[in-house]
Structure 1
């Protein structure tokens, strides 16, 4: 039996200059292991401390692994890779979480859950432990967005105390280096179909005299950015389709003449903006589509749907080129017919409104056709790369 096989639990703490509170956190974790009879280790993922935290950790019986790449996520990724336990429970080394009370996490992990999150709103938040901005705005809003976008059952996305099956977590190939790592872990576990649960967790005021590493607005934005970018359906696909349809329908309607709604009239000036909206919306739609195809081809564990799989089978460099060329030729044909009509009239003066109303749909079709061809070419580039591997 190897060392890794004999250790059931690694209690992991990321550390950057936590000399004030590190010892008490390690002692609580060591006490829990002794009291519960669990064969385990306390692991400190040090991210470049200069206050002697490494020596404190070793003096109190913890194992220290140095992680050179800076960042909360980087420290934890390095710690997870170095952990020897089948399960890992991670938590901040600032004494805000109680490492002597981990039974709920171990129970759920032993029952087969692959990610067990602490929930501070169920367990209790002591006065002064969480800034009002985080308690009433940041955490609830970001957690709600995460639940809405990814259908996650987790109600506290950013609790720092959480446990997981080490092999399951390594299989997710976590990448983010900053505070958004907390969201990445939950999102990828949910999308990957992992068994996810929550247990009540108490949060108390940390024991440090210095300000926390967390920066509210900067790190909040990084969490939000990650959630949005990892959900192209809501960031690009749905807005893109909506913009494209509104722009396309409006451009076509105004091609037959001005439209009056109440006291407001829409003419070819509005048609120009609607055509631009259609182009932008179509580009967003293509980006979402190609992003999802790329993600699935690269092995990202994201939900698949029958509709998308049917669409994916029909999309190729050739089909994109054919559709794109047809759209472009239709637009070009309209432009040529205008030119012929102008020539037949002796290249005389044109009626601006009528000419522009026809020229805008023509230009729109040529732009959409060009975008479609280039999207097909990009898909072809992806396919060539996959064949090389």
Structure 2
């Protein structure tokens, strides 16, 4: 009989913490009479694989480094109707497994822990992560994607397998955590957040604070270029156009001083920067549309914007620019 629940642990050199994690999970399974399998998705060069085998977990030895890779490989072999995910560093209390499973059975599609609503053990999280990194990145995710999730990087999660199959997850690194939430939102999954406690890890951390933070930011910016590029670009473009026209017609004064030709350089610069940001937002959106479901209006727009049509518009804009330049040049001479 297939297991109802697949418990997945991504593992990269966790020989110190892994035995404790596996023993805790076994106790929870036995105490709650769960029909579950334990998968250790491993890329270790220490004794973690031997420990997994010793504790009769399913060892998936793929040797692909990366948080996302560990889960993507494990998803391929997971047999459970429900999937539970948590780090193998003993920072999470596995006694929450039944609560996460119950939440999925209560018509939720995706469940994620919230470490900031529970008890956080001293020194369990670096101060920069606790008061800067996690809150800021979670705020940006809430702003960009209209969600209420407060702890977007919590590693304790659970999801229905049928819901997971809708997400088409692809990223290989730590940005996988953001990708999972963003695509769950885009696919209209019902998400629930559960307060959990958080402990100090056993063993050395594998996190690269700046590198991992940039991965998350880069991913969110790619999938929401409207906030990062389009709006700032449009504002700069409009300011540039308006100030250029005012300067051209001699209508711009600051503190009683009549501004004439020289400030046009700054106006032109604003127009160029704004234009480039708007174009970049279109390119970023074009990339994102291949991974995320977009509103019908945008899908129709991209359907009719062929390479030939865009190239034609570019040629027309170029000819128009040359014509205006020649007109100005001829008037000048």
Question: TM-score, normalization: structure 2?
Answer: 0.91
Identify the match of residue 238 of structure 2 among 242, 245, 257: 245
Q: Which has the higher contact order (CA 8 A, sep 6+)?
A: 2
Figure out how many residues of one structure are paired with residues of the other and give that number. Answer: 333
Q: Does 1:273 pair with 2:266? A: yes
2:202 equivalent to 1:207: yes
Give the number of the structure whose alpha-carbon radius of gyration is greater. Answer: 1
Partner of 1:12: 8
Cα pair 2:222 2:285 within 8 Å, conserved: no
After superposition, give the CA deviation of every residue in 1:13-53 in whole Å (9 maximum; x if it has no partner): 11111111111111111221222222110110001x22211
- For structure 2, the residue ranges without an aligned partner over 5 or more in a row are none
1:102 is displaced (CA, Å) by 1.4
Structure 2 CA distance for aligned equivalents of residues 207 and 317 of structure 1: 54
Q: Any conservation in 2 of the 1:152–1:187 contact (CA below 8 Å)?
A: no
Matches within 5 A, 1:244-323: 244-257=237-250, 259-262=252-255, 266-293=259-286, 295-296=288-289, 298=290, 300-304=291-295, 306=297, 308=298, 312=302, 315-317=305-307, 320=310, 323=313
Pairwise CA distance, 1:89: 0.8
Structure 1 residues 318 and 45, CA, compared in 2 at 3 Å: closer, same or farther?
closer
Q: 1:103 maps to which residue?
A: 98
Question: Relative to 1, partners in 2 of residues 1:329 and 1:52: Cα closer, same or farther, differing over 3 Å?
Answer: closer
Contact 1:232 1:291 survives alignment (8 Å)? yes
Q: Give the distance between the partners of 2:81 and 2:57, measured in 1 at CA.
A: 17
Give ranges in structure 1 of 5+ residues lacking alignment: 343-349, 351-389
Output the CA distance in 2 between the equivalents of 1:270 and 1:112. 61
Kindly provide the CA deviation profile for residues 271-290 of structure 1, in whole angstroms up to 9, marking residues without a partner as x.
Answer: 12322321232232223234
Which deviates further from its counterpart, 218-227 or 19-28? 218-227
Q: Distance in 2 between matches of 1:131 and 1:330?
A: 56
Write out per-residue CA displacement over residues 305-337 of structure 1, whole angstroms, 9 at most, x where no aligned residue: 64x467557645565455545544444333444
Q: Go from structure 1 to structure 2 and tell me whether the alpha carbon gap of 1:124 and 1:36 turns closer, same or farther (over 3 Å shift).
A: same
Matched residue SS, 2:34: coil
Aligned twin of 2:35: 39
State the distance in 1 between where 2:277 and 2:242 align. Answer: 17
Where does 1:147-166 land on structure 2 (aligned, <5 Å)?
147-166=142-161
| TM score, norm. by length of structure 1 | 0.79
